[in-house]
Amino acid sequence: MPVSRFQSESYSNDQRDLAWREFLDAIGLLEVWSPEILPASLGNYRSGLAHGKMPDLMLARLSATGRELSPIARRGVAPLIVLPLDEAIEIVRGDEGIVVRGRELGLVPTDPGWHIRFGRNSRTVCLTLPEALLLGRRSTNTGLAAPRVFPNESIVSIFAAAIEATAAEMERLHGADWAAVAQQLTDLFFCLPRKAGSDVAQRLAFSGLLGRVAQTIESHLGDNDLNAKTVAQMEGISERYMQRLFKRNGETFSQYLRERRLQRARALLSSPGEPDFSVANVAYDCGFGDAANFNRLFKQRFGQPPGAFRASITEARRESAGGVENRGWPISALGRFQPRATLARPARRLLPAKPSNSTAQPGQTHHLNVGPDTVHWGYFSRSLAPVLSVRPGDHVIVETLTQHATDARELMIKGDPAAEEVFFWDGERKGVDRRGAGPQDASVFGRGAGEGFGVHICTGPIHVEGAEPGDVVEVHIDDMTPRPSRAPGYEGRVFGSTVSAWWGYHYSDLLTAPNPRETVTIYEVHQDDDGSGHAEMLYSYRWKPQTDPFGVTHATYDYPGIPVKSGSVEFEPPPDPPLRVPLRPHFGVIAVAPREANLIDSVPPAYFGGNIDNWRLGKGTSVYLPVSVRGALLSIGDPHAAQGDGELSGTAIECSMTGRVTIRLHKRGTPIADITYPLIETADAWVLTGFSHPDYLAEFGSKGQSEVYAKSSLDLAMRDAFRKARRFLMARFGLTEDQAIAHISAAVDFGVTQVVDGNLGVHAIIPKSLVPGCKE
């Protein structure tokens, strides 16, 4: 039996709900509640992959936000087994409920009325075992009247691992495999403890009430004056009754509260995210009034004072890290990933879009120059104050800088006042301090503010008047010109840099020594008489460890904008005869602000655009981006003089450029506004951007900025590009699915956009000549 699947990118917005319900119905699940309208700013990402249908073996891997599902009522003894992979879910009926935390195992009764409730971006595996295999075998875990939850330990952990592994391999299992898997899983199921875990049993015994109280406590742990009285008030029960609830659990309210506070503190101290967040701050954050008391209690509980505990953890981590290059957030550091990270960019004046001039006709031209106040480096954020406000139809002449200008400072920065300011870095100060979405205090790897979790210098954001979530912003590139050098002796010439970097596709696969190594190649960019141009290799050098002005040594190219000390590297001459690389000027990064509250790493592209790295995004081309926040907050950067499909070494010919763009707004409801991904339109084709994980922030939830680097694959990107191409042909031209697929096979070219940006990209090129007269 094949797997069935639902993936929201397959469907136009108005068809998603129906298709989702059909998918669930086919596996025996019912959506009993969904948010009436999920705000566009929350996203509408859902995916599911399933095999079988109840009451046979049914296995499904679901990812969804804010929904309630229920097994379709039926007679039988097999419970619905649920395994949330990261975020907790709840099993609820009316007012009753129980929380299944990440990696715990929940059993949902088949009795009507029990639902599972997804929080935000919950990824959960659901399983039912074949009724036929359960009948005749006795277990306290079949024919349940109430849900049960098992902590992930001992045999439960093995069962859970088997379920997760089966879910991961679902698409590669064949007929006979499934029978064997069903038998094995059933055998493991009968090994489950006869009783649910002890704390869980109690959670259950008091139905949802104690659970609710516990949740209230969790969300107020930091309140120093949280006490039994205030909690009871919040829950609308008497303090005495609540104390009794706890007592029946064998502990008092204050014991419970203290334990939770100590556990939270321990988790904070273990996290690599904030090692210089002082112990006193941790104490305060966890609701301890004074540090001395906290130290004493912590030592009593964990046998070590908090400071020493953290030092031992940090030491252990340093040993295990061992200089391995890491892109994005390491998973271990995500615990302290701050949704409300503060932005260390200087507060900026909003450059007036001549707002007083409200009668001005659209179509005016703005100038947006680079400078420390008009760029953000290495991240996107909805919290950034815009630097310019435009009306739809306006033009912007926007300067951009390549973050690789420091590779040849003498050619690409020197004498250029704006570039000098942006790249400024001495022992005291940096022109732009934060570079990347990491912690400002560089407490993960110590590379520098922002940790280089994101590297691109982006100009903006630009506020687009009237843009609302659900609309689409179009950026049309009218023109692009390289930024000429102002360095003495090189005035007017143009230079660019390519780094064969540790994040390149080749890096782990080098043939010649030294292995591994990073290489920087400097090109000169020439304009040819026929209007085209080419780049010629000037020289190259191997990266050597560089100590930045703050004293941090960068053994690899792990932080953007590091000044390369003259004399520290050896220049190699270019090959002879010289190579002439034809130019393809384009912007690697064009983004609107993502809907998520965090700072978002600029490296992995996704639904909001970002680091698309498609060389077709140059002069004469438009990109359409779905708006997530009011005003869109558009940023442009990562200028490239040339790049191949694949961007194999990790970078293009990175070269500062100035663009002239026209910004248009397509309101919700117009055909183009159906897109939920960056769509490129060239003179003769649509180029649809497929990604390994089209909405990785939703798909992986809080782990997105780490997982996307680990889980990405071209196979998945191809799958996404196919779905988007099918949907585009169906929604846009009214083709049936069969017609769309026949077309795609005969006339749509799929190419490898990039294999180096974490979220790998495959694009689909749909020629406009396919359907004459369909031009916008």
- Please, what is the minimum distance in Å from the beta carbon of residue 490 to other proteins? 21
Question: In this chain, which stretch among 333-341, 504-512, 616-624, 702-710 interacts with other proteins, using CB under 8 A?
Answer: 504-512
CB of 267 to other proteins, least distance (A): 36
User: Would you say 293 or 713 has its CB closer to other proteins?
Assistant: 713
Residues near other proteins (CB under 8 A), total: 76
Cβ atoms within 10 A of the Cβ of 6, count?
Answer: 24
Tokens of 648: 């194999």
Considering only residues 755, 757, 758, 759, which one is a binding residue for other proteins as defined by CB under 8 A?
755
Beta strand 571-572 with 533-542: parallel, antiparallel or unpaired? antiparallel
Rg of the chain's alpha carbons, rounded to an integer? 28
Rounded Cα distance, 463 and 634, in Å: 7
Residues 4 to 23 in contact with other proteins, rule: CB under 8 A: 4-5, 7, 10-11, 19
Task: Select the residue interacting with other proteins from 95, 509, 529, 530 (CB under 8 A).
Answer: 509
Among 744, 757, 759, 761, binds other proteins (CB under 8 A): 744
Write out the binding residues for other proteins, residues 648-667 only, by CB under 8 A: 648-653
Contact region with other proteins (CB under 8 A), list: 84-92, 462-470, 501-509, 670-678: 501-509
| Cβ contact 228:253 at 8 Å | yes
DSSP 3-state of 417? helix
648 vs 672, beta carbon nearer other proteins: 648
Given 582, 620, 671, 710, the residue binding other proteins (CB under 8 A): 582
Q: How far is the CB of 173 from other proteins (least distance, A)?
A: 11
From the list 188, 196, 181, 187, the residue with the least C-alpha distance to 150 is 196
Only segment of 344-352, 388-396, 450-458, 641-649 that touches other proteins (CB under 8 A): 641-649
Query: Across the strands, what pairs with 246?
Result: none
Q: What are phi and psi of 637, to 5 degrees?
A: -170, -160
* 415 binds other proteins per the rule CB under 8 A: no
Stretch that binds other proteins, among 214-222, 419-427, 431-439, 639-647 (CB under 8 A): 639-647
Measured from the CB atom, the residue of 93 and 724 that comes closer to other proteins is 724
759 binds other proteins (CB under 8 A): no
The DSSP letter of residue 87 is S
Q: Based on CB atoms, which residue is closest to other proteins, 145 or 513?
A: 513
Contact 608, 628 (CB under 8 A): yes
For other proteins, the binding residue among 175, 427, 746, 775 (CB under 8 A) is 746
Q: Taking a C-beta distance cutoff of 8 angstroms, is the pair 604, 709 a contact?
A: yes
- Cα distances (angstroms) measured from residue 634 to each of 158, 213, 292, 453, 540: 47, 43, 48, 20, 35
Q: Any contact of residue 739 with other proteins (CB under 8 A)?
A: yes
CB of 57 to other proteins, least distance (A): 18
Identify whether the C-beta of residue 163 lies closer than 8 Å to the C-beta of residue 125. Answer: yes
Q: Residues 192, 197, 203, 207: is their CA dihedral positive or negative?
A: positive
Q: Which of 459, 498, 611, 621 binds other proteins (CB under 8 A)?
A: 498
Q: Is 170 in the site for other proteins (CB under 8 A)?
A: no
Q: Which of 127, 334, 432, 581 binds other proteins (CB under 8 A)?
A: 581
539 is a contact residue toward other proteins (CB under 8 A):
no
| Contact between 535 and other proteins per CB under 8 A | yes
User: Is 40 among the residues that bind other proteins (CB under 8 A)?
Assistant: no
Amino acid letter for position 402: T
Do 415 and 492 touch, CB atoms closer than 8 A? no
Among 172, 194, 340, 775, binds other proteins (CB under 8 A): 172
- Of residues 227 through 256, those in contact with other proteins by CB under 8 A are none
Helix (H) or strand (E) segment spanning residue 399: strand 395-400
Q: Report the C-alpha gap between 659 and 63 in whole angstroms.
A: 39
Q: Per the structure block, which two tokens stand in for 252?
A: 């008092």
Shortest Å, Cβ 270 to other proteins: 34
> What's the longest Cα–Cα distance across the chain?
89
In the bound state with other proteins, the residue whose beta carbon lies nearer, of 402 and 643, is 643
580 binds other proteins (CB under 8 A): yes
Cβ atoms of residues 500 and 506 within 8 Å: yes
- What's the burial of 361, exposed, middle or buried (CB within 10 Å: 0-12/13-18/19+)? exposed
Q: Which stretch binds other proteins (CB under 8 A): 334-342, 436-444, 535-543, 589-597?
A: 535-543
Residue 351 DSSP code: B
684 binds other proteins (CB under 8 A): no
Q: Which stretch binds other proteins (CB under 8 A): 218-226, 274-282, 373-381, 750-758?
A: 750-758
Q: Which residues pair with 31 in a beta bridge?
A: 69
Contact with other proteins (CB under 8 A) among 145, 176, 324, 511: 511
Exposure string over 500-526, b if 16+ CB within 10 A, otherwise e: bbbbbbebeeeeeeeeeebbbbbbbbe
Binding-site member from 131, 622, 752, 761 for other proteins (CB under 8 A): 752
Q: Is the distance from CB of 516 to CB of 510 less than 8 angstroms?
A: yes
DSSP result, 486-515: -STTTTT-EEEEEEE-TTSTTGGG--SSSS
Total residues belonging to the chain: 776
Task: List the interface residues with other proteins, window 557-576 (CB under 8 A).
Answer: 575
The verdict on 169 binding other proteins (CB under 8 A) reads no
Rule CB under 8 A: say whether 35 interacts with other proteins. no
Task: For residues 503 and 758, give the distance between their C-alpha atoms in angstroms, rounded to a whole number.
Answer: 9
Q: Which of 93, 391, 726, 732 binds other proteins (CB under 8 A)?
A: 726
46: contact with other proteins by CB under 8 A: no
Alpha helix segments (H runs only) across 93-153: 131-134
- Please, what is the minimum distance in Å from the beta carbon of residue 720 to other proteins? 11
- The yes or no reply on residue 305 touching other proteins (CB under 8 A) is no
The residue among 6 and 294 lying less far from other proteins, judged by its C-beta, is 6
Which of 65/521 has CB closer to other proteins?
521
Find the shortest distance in angstroms from Cβ 521 to other proteins: 5
Contact flag: residue 463 with other proteins (CB under 8 A): no
- 567-571's contacts with Cβ under 8 Å and 24+ in sequence apart are 568/544, 569/520, 569/541, 569/542, 569/543, 569/544, 570/541, 570/542, 571/539, 571/540, 571/541
* Residue among 11 and 423 whose Cβ is closer to other proteins: 11
b/e for 213-237, b at 16 or more Cβ within 10 A? bbbebeeebeeeebebeebbeebeb
**Closest approach of other proteins to the CB of residue 456, in Å:** 16
Closer by beta carbon to other proteins, 231 or else 756: 756
